[in-house]
Amino acid sequence: MAKRALITGITGQDGAYLTELLLSKGYEVHGLLRRASLFNTDRIDHLYHDPHVGGTSLSLHYGDLTDGTALRRVLETVAPDEIYNLGAQSHVKVSFEVPEYTADVVALGTLRLLEALRDHVAHGGGPVRCDQAGSSEMFGSAPPPQNEGTPFQPRSPYAASKLAAHWYAVNYREAYGLFICNGILFNHESPRRGETFVSRKVTRAVGRIREGLQQKLFLGNLEARRDWGFAGDYVEAMWLMLQQEAPDDYVVATGQSRSVRELVEIAFAEAGLDWRRHVELDQRYVRPTEVDALEGDASKARE
Ligand code: NAP
Ligand code: GDP
């Protein structure tokens, strides 16, 4: 029998890569879909087939992490072997504008899912393994390199909400013996990354400037350092976590950090452009509190 996976956040960057990975491994994949006034499945459209035609291994279910009833219904309907909780208001700067909503989705959303899982398993729903997508933002102002033993010092509503979700996951593992892993994921990017994150914001602008479609790129803090990896590798790490004998928490990172300024220099140089002629500071993109330096030590996961 094919393994069944349930993915929240299936329409996001990681959701798309994870769906590709799981389908390639023969999984039946189910995803939570938010209702939107426009189609929001661009990243997974190439994987989806009309169920009327048959033979599809990918199914989508309407639901939302703010709606506990729907989460329970989807969980009972799908009865998954594995759950990947990727759904989130995932933008750090936006979380300063909508902190309450961010907490509702990221912290309480995770709690709602864990409560549904706890009851599902207690009522004979059978063994389920669950992966929680945590973030290096939880380390905040803790100096690099950061590993699983580094104390968390969150610096944004997003990070504080992810930290609550992290500890809920640990507590549900310890209190109810559930198989739950926390991935502490450092920044990971791809052509599918949302276009308001700095990697795509820069690369998109470089392309448009070279084509004469825009002249300026407005950015915030260029001195922040991030440990940037490729999203495709990070979803493989999520899957590997759930294949281990016992549940645990893992940092996933490259171990190399670069500044936003270096990213900008390299991207513009690649297109034969001088970044100083095009990049300007806009205070709107500066965060009230910044995470200055992230560099992960992923020795545990690598081992
Ligand atoms: P993303 O592209 O922003 O995708 C987020 C997903 O969550 C989308 O499918 C989105 O749906 C869904 N979502 C948003 N609000 C929701 C709600 N209320 N209920 C249900 N689903 C909701 O994020 P990503 O880059 O793939 O990241 C995946 C996960 O890893 C997130 O939890 C993120 O916080 C975490 N993470 C990411 C990074 C990174 O560098 N990418 C690093 C550390 C941790 P719509 O498509 O409808 O908006
Ligand atoms: P984050 O690390 O999860 O917040 O991912 P982002 O890609 O949003 O931001 C990475 C770093 O780039 C942070 O230190 C930001 O402050 C910095 N940055 C500088 N200018 C910008 C900008 O215009 N947009 C974004 N998103 N980040 C910027």
Q: Tokens in use for 72?
A: 């329970």
Flag whether pLDDT at 185 surpasses 80.
yes
pLDDT at residue 111 in the model: 99
For 222, the 3-state DSSP assignment is coil
Which atom in ligand 2 lies closest to the alpha carbon of residue 196?
Answer: 26
Pocket test for ligand 2, best of 198, 225, 263, 292 (most atoms within 8 A of CB): 198
Residues with a catalytic annotation lie at 135, 137, 158
With beta carbons less than 8 A apart as the criterion, state whether 78 and 30 touch. Answer: yes
Dump pLDDT digits (tens) for 137-182: 999 999 999 999 999 999 999 999 999 999 999 999 999 999 999 9
Question: Model's pTM, two decimal places?
Answer: 0.98
Region 72-84: what's the mean pLDDT?
98
Q: Which of 94, 54, 62, 11 is nearest to 285 (CA)?
A: 94
Pocket test for ligand 1, best of 75, 90, 136, 236 (most atoms within 8 A of CB): 90
- Is the CB of 221 within 6 Å of ligand 2? yes
The residue behind tokens 């407005």 is 218
How many of the other CB atoms lie within 10 Å of CB of 50?
8
- Is the CB of 239 within 6 Å of ligand 2? no
pLDDT at residue 1 in the model: 86
pLDDT at residue 155 in the model: 98
User: Regarding beta strands 28-33 and 4-8, do their DSSP bridges make them parallel or antiparallel, or are they unpaired?
Assistant: parallel
Widest CA span in the chain? 63
Which atom in ligand 1 lies closest to the alpha carbon of residue 13?
Answer: 26
Taking the centre of ligand 1 as the mean of its atom positions, its distance from the CA of residue 274, in whole angstroms, is 33
Nearest ligand to the C-alpha atom of residue 131:
1
Region 233-242: what's the mean pLDDT?
98
pLDDT band at residue 51 using 50, 70 and 90 as cut-offs: confident
- Is the CB of 220 within 6 Å of ligand 2? yes
User: Regarding beta strands 258-259 and 279-281, do their DSSP bridges make them parallel or antiparallel, or are they unpaired?
Assistant: unpaired
Residue percentage of the chain with pLDDT more than 70: 100
Residues with CB under 6 A from ligand 1: 8-15, 32, 34, 36, 40, 64-66, 86-90, 105, 133, 135, 185, 187-188, 194
Region 231-260: what's the mean pLDDT?
98
Flag whether pLDDT at 56 surpasses 80.
no
Distance separating alpha carbons of residues 70 and 84, to the nearest angstrom = 16
Dump pLDDT digits (tens) for 94-125: 999 999 999 999 999 999 999 999 999 999 99
